[in-house]
Amino acid sequence: MAQHKIIVAGLGPGSPEDITPAVFDAVQSSDVIVGYKYYFRFIQHALRPDAICIDSGMKAERKRAEEALEYALQGKTVCVISSGDAGIYGMAPLIYEMMREKGVTDSIEVEVLPGISAFQKAGALLGCPLGHDLCILSLSDLMTPWSRIEKRIEAAAYGDFITAIYNPKSQGRYWQLYRLIEIFAQHRSPDTPVGYVRQAGRPEQEVTLTTLAEFDPEQVDMFTVILIGNTQSYAWEGHFITPRGYYREGQLEQGVKVGQGIMIESFRTIHGELANPDVPLDHKWALIHAIHTTADFEMEKILYTDDKAVERMHQAVLAGKLKTVITDVTMVASGIRKGALERLGVEVKCYLNDPRVAEIAEAKGITRSQAGIRLAVEEHPDALFAVGNAPTAIIELCELIRRGKAQPQGIIAAPVGFVNVRESKYMAKVFKDIPKIIVEGRKGGSNLAATLVNSVLTLDDADALRPGRDV
């Protein structure tokens, strides 16, 4: 080997079989070996008898780099050993930075020999979690401010990267990992695979596969690498798998139709982009339906639901108490999923085109929407009323409730427009005992009212985030 040379070598995670032949050759041919004292045990048999070994403890990285540089300037071939890959949280960047600082880049050759990084070893032990786009994060804030680390965590979670976590927890850093899990929970489902390996490749090795919901930060330490899956990752027979896409290319999940597959992907996309996903599940289910229909994330601000309103209406359906949905216009009725209605034994009725409605409207001097609601209440006073067009329908319903003529199982108030729209929604909001979903302000529409009904009918699909079985 050439003189005036520093070789920065990655030893891998710790087991001799994971050290590359090139690294062994470098160790055997070097005059000086510099490294953290713990790592010398892995290369002891490869050391030359006359080799100078310089070992030091933790947090002495700069001193080791300076000593390596000093010996190299004396004409020695120096091997700086680093665990894992020397370029990943290892010594290689420090060596280059020091050479640049000292102005010796022209007089010393630097060669970097790659090694198996701990995240790669952990991935192999867990199965194949690293099959797609990934990133690596260190939670150590010794040289990186936490504010910057948290931004990177947010980006990794939002970007749906498979994420490897180094330096997850120490005696002095006990809360950072909890914060990371909190952030990832906003962008991943609870059943997202999480694997962690302690002392990868060493005799003390421990391998654990769990989920994001079940992961316990108290079970890890500084010797642990954590791998968090993306939205396609799954566990199978004890293995952590992230598909690359070759096998599933052009295929759908078993039992999933094309339309449902598109809906599932859309819902997952919306969930990942929610500003505040930490809301009750039944509200979130209605919210994602609303955004899916409108592509309007303002729904996060304007979609109002009473406490457990969607759940209460869904339970009323299952209990046979909610058998009829009344809509103000036919467009709302046409948007309610027929398969779900048939499956649950629920009927949809719109009285707008009933001949009796025109007669009532003319005789009473009211709108056809009002007349339709009057007639509907006479025949189905305990229905779910879904309004997506006419604020007068809401106004009429509220008046009939106040007079004791209507006892709805629920109200979906989503009329759209500029006249009496907001006021009608304020009226509906006062009935505390009736579960309500309200699109506040001027926004609304028939398609929105329909999709909110669909959210009520399909709430049992919310936990798995799998919409569209009735598509």
Residues known to be catalytic: 292
CA distances from 283 to 290, 300, 427 (A): 11, 10, 21
Q: Say how many residues make up the chain.
A: 471
Q: 421-436 burial, b if ≥16 CB within 10 A, otherwise e?
A: beebbebbbebeebbb
In sequence order, which residues have a C-beta less than 8 Å from that of residue 154 and are 6 or more positions away?
183
Calpha distance 190→186 (Å, rounded): 9
In sequence order, which residues have a C-beta less than 8 Å from that of residue 218 and are 6 or more positions away?
none
Whether 446 contacts 388, CB under 8 Å = yes
For helices 446-457 and 281-294, the axis angle rounded to 10 degrees is 140
DSSP helix/strand/coil, 413: strand
> Backbone phi, then psi, for 410, in 5-degree steps?
180, 160
Whether 383 contacts 326, CB under 8 Å = yes
Which tokens hold the place of 269?
């996309």
DSSP state at residue 415: -
> Backbone phi, then psi, for 442, in 5-degree steps?
-85, -20
Whether 64 contacts 35, CB under 8 Å = yes
Whether 452 contacts 426, CB under 8 Å = no
Whether 218 contacts 191, CB under 8 Å = no
Amino acid, res. 372: G
Report the DSSP beta bridge partners of residue 9. 81, 113
Whether 183 contacts 157, CB under 8 Å = yes
Q: Give first-to-last CA distance, the chain, whole Å.
A: 68
